[in-house]
Structure 1
Amino acid sequence: MKLRKVTAASATVFALALTATACGSDGGDSGSDGGNKKITVGIKYDQPGLGLKTPDGSFTGFDVDVAKYVAKELGYEEGDIEFKETKSADRETALARGDVDFIAATYSITDERAKKVDFAGPYLLAHQDLLIRADDNVTKGDDLNGKKLCSVTGSTSAQNVKNDFAKDAQLKEYGTYSQCLGALQSGQVDALTTDDSILAGYAAQEQYKGKFKLAGLELSNENYGIGVKKGEKEMVDKINAALEKMVQDKSWDKAVQDNFGPANYENERAPEIGNIVK
């Protein structure tokens, strides 16, 4: 899949448009449309390193930092952002209903999803992997034949493994990755599969250090995109311009280090906007 690439010229036009809007302001509300002060962004609440709601009600993670940067470029202050939990199974519905303005929630760009929503990005290239108990050993996908494999409802990860690597794996679905992690810890499942970026965040949590490990398999390429309602081409262009600027001014590198550094996650370099790695 090849998404529309936003050029530097497009970014310049967008920046000039924002400047003109700001100059024409009467000093009141500062939303990107001149009146709406709030923007609602869909994120995950339970993914350490990516999208996590902390006990004090704040939000942390790489997706959160990307969302904040994009919202700022769209003309919103951080206090204007309302984060809304958007689970994997609910993302397309949330966009179609208008519950959120855009989604930054480990949202892999696929041909099937692109029929229902439009994507900006990608802004991160991850790879599907397995999280297993520290004393287990999985060296290839078909080692999972006959084993119980967990992922979340609405995710494509577990089905990918069953289709392509271990047709006799037993799939178990839970509502959240945290529930999968609990099942892995208790022995109810043998592996948790999703993107390596997500798994690294869980494995690095203090209470789980030494209990789990990444298998180190690159089972797929996962191109994280920002989802918007189908047909919102102007919003896609604006978000792409913001993402390009985030890479250029090194804010992307800082966000990667801040959120993945503690887990020793070996991330890929920033992907080219509009280029989907198959």
Structure 2
Amino acid sequence: MSDAGGAGRAGEGAAPDPQTPRTVIEGRYELLESIGSGAMGEVWRAYDRRLRRHVAVKGLLARTAMTADTRRTAMQRARREAEALAKIEHQNVVTVHDQVETDHQVWIVMKLLEGRSLADLLRSERVLGVPRAAGIGLQILQGLRAVHQAKVLHRDVKPGNVLVRDEGLAILVDFGIASFAGANKVTKLGIPIGTPPYMAPELFAPASPGPTPASDLWALGVTLYEMAEGRLPFRGHEVWEVQENIRSTPEPPYRYSGPLAPVIQGLLAPDKDDRLDAATAEAMLQEVLRDPDLPPAPLAEQPTQAALPDFTPDPERPAPAEVAVPDEPEGKPGARRGWKAGLAVVLAAVLAGGGWYLSRGDEPSGSSGSESKAPTVTAAEKRWEKWRSANEVLRVGVKADQPRLSEELEDGTFEGFDVSMALAIAKALGYERGDVQFVAVNSDNRSSMLTHLQVDLVVASYSITDEREGEVDFVGPYIYAGRTFLVRKESEKYTLDSSADIKKEKVAVCTALGSTYVEHLKEERYRIYEPQPSGYEGCVKKLLNKATDVYAVASDDILLAGHAYKRPDDVKLLEIGAGTEEYGIAMRPGDRPLKGKVCEALGQIITSGEWKTMYDQHLSVLSLPPRGAPNPPKCAT
């Protein structure tokens, strides 16, 4: 239960049963029942005898043994903190009615709110949908800005400390471990206090200055992600687990966030100086909610206009690319200016796409009647036209080191089957060849290139797997591949004619970082070369260098056959396994306007015979088993 939350058991003015003896603070506030406990104290439902109303009362001091000096210091700190909290007057922050001091405690008396916590809401609904998540997130942010302007830091922003009322109003509660400007860091056994999955990484740096407004904004980013995606971005029960997950995977996958993704990414910047400031985040959330193509949430989920002021779309507002982002008076002008300009453009591009799920990540179901389908088609075409007009250049990620598949030439151009596939799709999308920009990617960075909006599509031997489905969306397959090894053609030390020889001799096998072969080789107990290079060209160079102990490269047959074709005197392919790899065209999760058009384009390429022409041109010269075109993909209508 949150700070000032609680289901009403008695009428607002009904006095408690006089027969039951209870603690009364300062002769006025009668403690009735405990309604929850925070990190620093217990919250009570109480009765204000003077004004005859129910309130919430919480102590600001922990129940720990103190000396006279430490108690005096703690009391002084809590007194100043209560005074600071009492000055905050905002509809999205719990109202503080009074401050009361007893012998060993400082109490704050707050408005008793009816409603349920955001945590309870997420437990029952899991994913709230973009409009609702953005609306609640904006209210939390507006409350935080009021808190920060009062020189107070909340320090425990999370769904459990946000109350959502029936009319849609979100209220920030539980200031049990809040601190004000100039206060000493609150710690427990030398560790900053808070809820680990929501704690910013800078709080654990050796020379950390302690919490700042940016730390609260990080927690807001985690909360936004949880509302939109239905799970935490960085999991772990202990502080070290969460921090290790942030360090190892700083970019969590975005599947349902759509236009919220740039806001969340900005708030979850690991370096606090690069983090989105409050003013910019607020402007971006307002822009998400003002999108004219934003479908309304289900009626039960819609907050009232009174609860969400200024959310009504303004027909006179500028286009997304021209959105004005106000400066943050208290922010750092240098480090964050780039975020403001860059994310305004990013927001325009993502909003133009409009591709994200509304409520729980499900595709909308259509009726079988032709009359009911017409509006859906019209809406889809409208979304695509908006996406296309916002993206004059199509940026495609391809690999630069895969002969016959995709390779960068000396003049900086690219060629190969993947490149031809990308150009054919671009043409079907209405792009001339000069409007297509190829960007070199590798197995390790291609998903982050999509996440950071550096490319729109990736056509780079990207295998479709269940694990990757959460990171990117796929259309495909556009070709099948088998598994094989590339080995030295002549070796003085080993004779390697099969995969069994590689395993028996325990030679080092190289594979690219981020490829599906890392886990496969581990499972099959091959000896993996460390460290893994970012691309297969690095593996082939090590294979050709007799000074290294790399004697084999593991990957797809199409990919390795190209290297064997290019270096016939130096390397050879071993037996080719079954077709177990399906290459897909990847894009950002939920980018429905683009995905729908790419799916249609790939179907046309496969059925028209264009696929066979490209295959014959680039791959037929390789020593591969005969391969036909895959079936056209099924496109959502």
TM-score by length of 2: 0.37
Aligned twin of 2:628: 269
Distance 1:64 1:55 in 2: 16
Flag structure 2 segments of 5+ consecutive residues without an equivalent: 1-362, 364-372
Quote the RMSD (CA, aligned, Å).
2.6
Is the contact made by 1:149 and 1:192 (CA closer than 8 Å) also made in structure 2? yes
Paired AA for residue 171 in structure 1? Y
Does 1:87 find its partner at 2:442? yes
Paired AA for residue 589 in structure 2? K
Paired AA for residue 529 in structure 2? L
Paired AA for residue 110 in structure 1? T
Does 1:151 find its partner at 2:151? no
Q: Cα distance 1:196–1:168, how it changes in 2: closer, same or farther (>3 A)?
A: closer
Report the CA distance between 1:267 and its aligned residue: 4.5
**What is the percent sequence identity of the aligned residues?**
31
Is the contact made by 1:44 and 1:86 (CA closer than 8 Å) also made in structure 2? yes
Is the contact made by 2:480 and 2:579 (CA closer than 8 Å) also made in structure 1? no
Out of 171, 175, 193, the residue aligned to residue 554 of structure 2 is 193
Q: Cα distance 1:148–1:72, how it changes in 2: closer, same or farther (>3 A)?
A: same
Report the CA distance between 1:274 and its aligned residue: 4.1
Distance 1:126 1:101 in 2: 24
Runs of 4+ in structure 1 over 6 Å off: none
Aligned twin of 1:239: 598
TM-score by length of 1: 0.82
Is the contact made by 2:480 and 2:580 (CA closer than 8 Å) also made in structure 1? yes
Does 1:161 find its partner at 2:521? yes
Report the CA distance between 1:249 and its aligned residue: 1.5
Report the CA distance between 1:162 and its aligned residue: 2.6
Q: How far does the alpha carbon of each residue in 1:149-194 deviate from its partner, in whole angstroms, 9 at most, with x for none?
A: 001111121431231x3x1423331122122111111232010011
Of 261-270 and 55-64, deviating more is 261-270
Of 122-131 and 212-221, deviating more is 212-221
Distance 1:266 1:62 in 2: 17
Q: How far does the alpha carbon of each residue in 1:208-245 deviate from its partner, in whole angstroms, 9 at most, with x for none?
A: 11221111131661100000101112322211111111
Report the CA distance between 1:52 and its aligned residue: 0.7
Paired AA for residue 513 in structure 2? T
Q: Cα distance 1:97–1:162, how it changes in 2: closer, same or farther (>3 A)?
A: same
* Pairing of 1:169-208 with structure 2 (within 5 A): 169-172=527-530, 173-187=532-546, 188=548, 189-205=550-566, 208=567
Out of 126, 129, 133, the residue aligned to residue 481 of structure 2 is 126
Aligned twin of 1:215: 574
Is the contact made by 1:133 and 1:212 (CA closer than 8 Å) also made in structure 2? yes
Bigger fraction of residues in strand: 1
Report the CA distance between 1:33 and its aligned residue: 1.8
Distance 1:211 1:154 in 2: 26
Aligned twin of 2:127: none
Distance 2:442 2:404 in 1: 16
Flag structure 1 segments of 5+ consecutive residues without an equivalent: 5-9, 22-30
Out of 432, 451, 455, the residue aligned to residue 77 of structure 1 is 432
Distance 1:47 1:87 in 2: 10
Paired AA for residue 227 in structure 1? A
Paired AA for residue 184 in structure 1? L
